[in-house]
Structure 1
Amino acid sequence: MPHHDGAPVRLAVSTVIFALRPDHTGLPVLWTPLVRRTVEPHLGLWALPGGWLPPNEELEAAAARTLRATTGLAPNYLEQLYTFGEVDRSPDARVVSVVYWALVQSDEAAQATAGPNVRWVPADTMPGLAFDHNRIVEYALWRLRTKVEYAELAHALLGATFTLAELREVYEVVLQRRLDPANFRRTMIASGRLRETGEHVSGAPHRPPKLYRYETAASTAQTREPFMKERPAS
């Protein structure tokens, strides 16, 4: 274990980003952007976007700034995830990282910075990352899969309006299992979370699907029955 006796504690911010994008087979999966480290420690390894916290900047502002600087992304959904501060996180200093997580739509993700030092990777098949960033991604995935049951997170991946089939696809990708379309439709309609926009998908043959949006007046604090109750094995 590294020894940092007498060394000041450094505070950093990092962000885990999730976007729904197709894989090589065309099926949608969750993707996460990584940045290549250009300095020691862990020179050349991939890591989460982030940076040091200046003394005069708020945490969320720093997270948004470093995210914009490294990936070009400015997500609407940015929330504090957890603080990671184990003594041995970094080999050359005591570093405490305040980690945020963000959800972006696929079209926004397509506009992200591209280059040799930015890489999008399926969130469930991470390479070996610098520091404890693999653990951070795993925690963020667990948090997303748990929270999607109780909060209106899917719209951050979909946009303001969506069909029930598109919404179900998000749940299936996040929860990693198929959901019965009829049961899903009944559950979502009965939940009071959704409202019909009065519009339909344009250009669709036969009966074009209805477009929905989240009902902002619905109470997010209300207890709801989730599709999945299991916590992942630690």
Structure 2
Amino acid sequence: MSDPATPDEQQRVALAVSTVIFALRPHPTTRRLAVHLPLVRRIRAPHQGRWALPGGPLGASEGLGAAASRTLGETTRLRPRYLEQLYAFGGPDRAPSAAERTVSIVYWAMVRPEEADAGVAGVNVQWFLADELPELAFDHNLIVEYALWRLRNKLEYSRIAAAFLGETFTLAELRGVHEAVLQRPLDPANFRRQMEASGRLVPTDEFRTGGRHRPARLFRHDESIHLADNGPLTRA
């Protein structure tokens, strides 16, 4: 039997937290709403100069959700109303050195346009089209691809679209969210029937006025249906 590895021979494992933040913003060419996310330019090796998801190492005395909120605020100043744990990425080839392995706990969230505008943007923080990303640091392209897949699937059965909207909205505004996320037009009549049959919407007595069309009824999402899939777990 071989001797156990000494501490120097053992692979070091680092734990990090990253966050995928989605927002609906106008496409730079078509001006239609499209899914965007903020990225941070790395200023040190490895992958110096490449864009990456906001994130950083986990503090010794903080929870995962708290670390995600902290690193996101430090890099982008974004403060989403909730963070939902997305997935853990820990492939052995994620780190540049075989002597160190990095496991990333990835969170995700959606923010409204006004919340996105409150974030910082500049030389080292910019918004990108989620479907037209450059080559990112580490495996962050794969992480974004997975987050988009989850978003598009979850849109079909949850009230996650509420995170992109105000407290109340018209069915046309809700359909616009679905069309932007799914990247295809939806028939208004069919969409209305599906949403009314879903049980996720609550009609209000208010109407949106001021446009060229007749006033449109405002709806809100049923808040008894949780936005995040955290079950009995707390945000921490």
Pair in the same fold by TM > 0.5? yes
Structure 1 partner of 2:197: 190
Unpaired runs of 5+ in structure 2?
1-7, 228-236
- Provide the C-alpha distance between the structure 2 equivalents of 1:206 and 1:94, rounded to a whole number of angstroms: 58
Counterparts of 1:95 and 1:218 in 2: how far apart (Å)? 35
Asked if the contact 1:196/1:210 (under 8 Å) is kept, the reply is yes
Q: Which moved more, 1:186-195 or 1:14-23?
A: 186-195
1:37-76 matches, within 5 Å, as 37-76=42-81
Alignment match, 2:118 = 111
Superimposed CA distance per residue, residues 147-174 of structure 1 (whole angstroms, 9 cap, x where no aligned partner):
1111100110112111100101111111
Report the Cα distance in structure 2 between the residues aligned to 1:97 and 1:218, rounded to whole angstroms. 29
Give the residue type in structure 2 aligned to 1:21: R
Shift of 1:75: 0.3
Deviation at 1:219, TM superposition (A): 8.5
Q: Secondary structure at the match of 1:19?
A: strand
Q: Any gaps of 5 or more consecutive residues in structure 1?
A: 221-234
> Is 1:162 equivalent to 2:169 in the alignment?
yes
Once the two structures are superposed, what CA deviation does each residue of 1:1-39 show, in whole Å capped at 9, x if it has no partner? xxx952320000000110000012311000010000011
Cα contact 1:77–1:156 (8 A) shared by 2: no
Select which of 19, 23, 28 maps to 2:23: 19
Would you say 1:151 and 2:155 are equivalent positions?
Answer: no
Cα RMSD after superposing both structures: 1.6
Q: 1:162 to 1:132 in 2, by over 3 A?
A: same
Residue type at the aligned position of 1:72: R
**Pairwise CA distance, 1:142:** 0.3
Aligned partners of 1:12 and 1:50 also within 8 Å:
yes
Which has the larger displacement, 28-37 or 187-196?
187-196
For residues 160 and 42 of structure 2, the distance between their equivalents in structure 1, rounded to whole angstroms, comes to 30
Distance 1:66 1:176 in 2: 30
Q: Which residue pairs with 1:34 in the alignment?
A: 39
* Aligned counterpart, 1:141: 148
Structure number with greater Rg is 2
Q: Secondary structure at the match of 1:210?
A: strand
- TM-score of the pair, normalised by structure 2: 0.88
Moved over 4 A (4+): none
Q: Measure, in 1, the Cα distance between the counterparts of 2:83 and 2:169.
A: 21
Q: Hey, what's the Cα distance between the residues in 2 that align with 1:206 and 1:212?
A: 17
Tell me, in whole angstroms, the C-alpha distance in 1 between the residues paired with 2:23 and 2:84: 15
Give 1:202 deviation, angstroms: 3.5
CA deviation vs aligned residue, 1:61-92 (integer Å, no higher than 9, x gap): 00011001100001013100000000110103
TM superposition shift of 1:217? 3.6
Q: Percent identity?
A: 59
